[in-house]
Homo-oligomer: A and B are copies of this chain.
Amino acid sequence: MSTIVEILIQTFGKECVRTRDEASVRVASNWRQTEHLNCLALLRPKTTEEVSKILRICNEFNQPVVPHGGLTNVVGGVVTKPDEIALSLERMNGIEEISVQNKTATVQAGVILQNLQTVLAENGQHFPLDLGAKGSCMIGGNIASNAGGLQALRYGVMRNLVLGVEVVLADGTIISSLNKMVKNNAGYDLKQLFIGSEGTLGIITRAVLKIDDLPKSKNTAFVAVESFEKANLLLQVAKKQLKNDLTTFELLWQDYYRLMTSPPSPYSPPLPQTYPFYVLMEALGQDADKDKILFDELLENWLQDGLIADAVIAQSQQELEKVWGIRENVDLIFSVHSPVFLFDVSLAISDMDDYIKKIRSDLQQVWPSLHFYAFGHMGDGNLHLFINCGTNDEETKHLVDAIVYQPLQQISGSITGEHGVGLEKKSWLYLTRTTEEIELMKTLKKALDPKGILNPGKLLPD
């Protein structure tokens, strides 16, 4: 047993400090990973003061620390090396304050997203971050990775939902920046530094989040459109006519829809499989009767105008689960294909159609029996791709990465819209960010974490 682990056990006790062997019962430090955790120790502090003390000790010992939330990261952002300490926020899971009047919730970083949503719903309130991993991802991780998800079209990404944070710096300094105001220009907006920095600049321990009234209506439609242009026109029209009730606008390319509505998928196709594009759209509102009338009326108009080719409106919980399942149940891809590479690109809506055509074609030239699935948050300019080309060795992965990422440089797209960089994308960061930007990121890292103990090797290129 190494000296630092002994010191940590002496200082924080066995409930907080799990040794390498004890920690190794835990599976995964990455989405869909089945490996066991391999780290020097797993720390589970209960308070911000404990996080502060831990980091002070680790900083003294030049001991790398990898912050852990719900372990739903998909880019290797929470992977530990054997000599690194994992610091989990799982025991800091208190919802400390909900202000219905001022529309804020103050929570510890280890609160699971869905738990927060449930408690808020009991108070008639709504936290609008929504993503597939909500049952296990934690608020601290959502902030550190600037999560996006299914309602960003209306509410923005996590950055737009955070009013204040409490963060512990590498040297143990506690930055209490728990602002609750919508507008505050009193000096630098420090929270912005930590949002989306993937645990490399500080460990988030608490946050003040913006909340909203719980919606009183939910109207959901699954529609087919005859072209990408019509999908885009529908998005523009729906935004105007539904105003900010339009919460979700998810585009599905035909291949993905067919996969999700053919055996072994449990979902039968709600619409014929012959259309080139499908859209899942949802509006959340405050007036159950009026909202439903308007939604149905708009769908009817769009059908008559030929803006949409076909449509189903979810009329029951079962139908709702089905259309959402078709969009969300990506595990099905893995039951049909293996291995699968996952991508998360961001680009102008006007570039999307051509981009997908180009990379599908480029990939098919190399792997004629390719499986290629595209869908995503069209309204946010953010698409996910699932690609199967038979193997997943290093060389194949690099070639697929190159084909997917390189065209983004010319169209000023991004190698990641919401998943972040982690380990997997850092060597491609130069496609999306300039040399000077990356140097400035390194300057910030050095200023805040001079010894480089926080999540080393993640996000920043070597």
Residues of A within 8 A of B (CB): 99, 101-102, 145-146, 148, 152, 156-157, 159-160, 169, 173-190, 192-193, 195-197, 201, 213, 240, 243-245, 286-287, 346-350, 377, 380-382, 412-421, 425, 429, 432-434, 436-441, 443-444, 446-448, 459-460
Contact = CB atoms under 8 A, between A and B. Distances in A.
A181 B437 contact: no
B195 A189 contact: yes
**A interface majority secondary structure:** loop
A179 to B, nearest CB: 8
A222 to B, nearest CB: 23
Contacts of A415: 186
A182 to B, nearest CB: 5
Given A102-B348, A186-B415, A188-B201, 14 more contacts: A146-B185, A173-B436, A175-B440, A176-B434, A178-B412, A179-B414, A181-B412, A181-B414, A184-B414, A185-B421, A186-B416, A188-B441, A188-B444, A189-B195
Contacts of A189: 146, 159, 192, 195-196
Contacts of A438: 187
Contacts of A439: 173
Contacts of A459: 187-188
Given A446-B447, A447-B443, A185 B437 contact: no
A417 B148 contact: no
B436 A186 contact: no
A146 B181 CA distance: 15
Contacts of A178: 412
